[in-house]
Amino acid sequence: MDRLVDACPECDSPEFYGIVGSPVGDAGTDHDYRCRQCGEAFDEPAHREAKADSGGSDMTRRLERMDPDDLGGEA
């Protein structure tokens, strides 16, 4: 699968959240995002190829392995 994901520029983790405008965000920071893994604050996520195991939930992994025709619905 050749797809790009956004990731922390410090530790390469795709687990980060926006902190600007968040009611529980970091007061006084000049950055837009914070990494859930290493705590780094940054403005722009890095872009990298998705790894084989995205580390997502079990449901995410099962959906990624399914044939699109088996998922139903209209495209």
**Quick one: pLDDT at residue 67?**
79
Low-confidence ranges of the chain (pLDDT < 50): 1
Beta strand 41-42 with 4-7 is: unpaired
Question: What is the C-alpha separation between 42 and 53, in angstroms, rounded?
Answer: 25
pLDDT of residue 14: 93
This prediction has a pTM of: 0.57
How many CA atoms are closer than 13 Å to the CA of 43, on its beta-carbon side? 1
Contact 56, 63 (CB under 8 A): no
Q: What is the pLDDT of residue 39?
A: 93
Cα–Cα distance, 69 to 75 (Å, whole number): 10
Cα 45 versus chain centre, distance: 9
